[in-house]
Amino acid sequence: MKQGRSIQSAQPVEGVYQVDQGTAVLERDPDLANGWLLRLNGVQSSHIDLDDPGHLSFEYMRWIAALVEDRWPAGTTERVRLLHLGGAACSLARYFHHTHPESRQVVVELDAALAAVVREWFGLPRAPFLRLRVGEAREVTESLSPASRDVIIRDVFTQGGTPAPLTTQEFAAHAARVLGPDGIYMVNCGSAPDLREAREDAAGIASIFPHVAIVADAPMLKGRRYGNVIIAGSHRPFEGSAAMVRTLLGGAVPARYLNDDEVREFIRGAQPRHDPAPVPGSAVTAS
């Protein structure tokens, strides 16, 4: 195997880099003067436009931004508290710092080496605006105070899927506890054409949050291909404004917005995933 480049440069340099969780490949975007594509263990992970932090190349990130901005419009002076579970190149964190400059964000990234180089490569904002926290997403979420965040975005993938502990009803309950009364929990669910992953993920979120929504493109929702489904839960109703719906339809990949009733129809018959039951006798008691 080719030896990865050591991480020392303070500027993006194309190449293969060894990080804690495997291999990162940084490539120039041939269609964008200062665009960069990051692949992690062979999977396309992030796109960054160093000239324009407001440019989101990945459609599913635009869908997430549209849901957030339907509640907190871009340019607001309100301080929105965002928790990103899964960092990679921090594309969404850069975007929200650009559109919501008073926001306070924490990005949780399991890979310490990747987090360090991404901060240097892409000129990320410093604390208190953006903090990179190295850790496991569930452990960090469980450690947070109640009502301490306004937005939680789960975008964690390993070996092609989301780690099981982040997809359960119990984890959704932890997210609900950490969110304030107006908060939104959003997940990027990668689902096969049978939509089993999306329906089970949505069922878990819908069992915890009184209000749910989904954004995905129509072929995906019809089970025609593998793709991204954005599932959101909240303690308060989603706005679902006409302006947001137009934004979703106007992208390069037009997306549908499913309201609460439509989501609950979509998940009919699906069961939430659960944490494994404790093994009898595994508890340690004091002597």
pLDDT of residue 251: 84
CATH hierarchy code of domain 56-266: 3.40.50.150
pLDDT of residue 104: 98
Domain ranges of the chain: 56-266
One digit per residue, pLDDT tens: the chain, 287 residues? 233 444 344 579 999 999 999 999 999 999 999 999 999 999 999 999 999 999 999 999 999 999 999 999 999 889 999 999 998 999 999 999 999 999 999 999 999 999 999 988 998 999 999 999 999 999 999 999 999 999 999 999 987 789 999 999 999 999 999 999 999 999 999 999 999 999 999 999 999 999 999 999 999 999 998 999 999 999 999 999 999 999 999 988 999 999 999 999 999 999 999 999 887 776 554 43
Spatial separation of the C-alpha atoms in residues 190 and 206, rounded to whole Å: 18
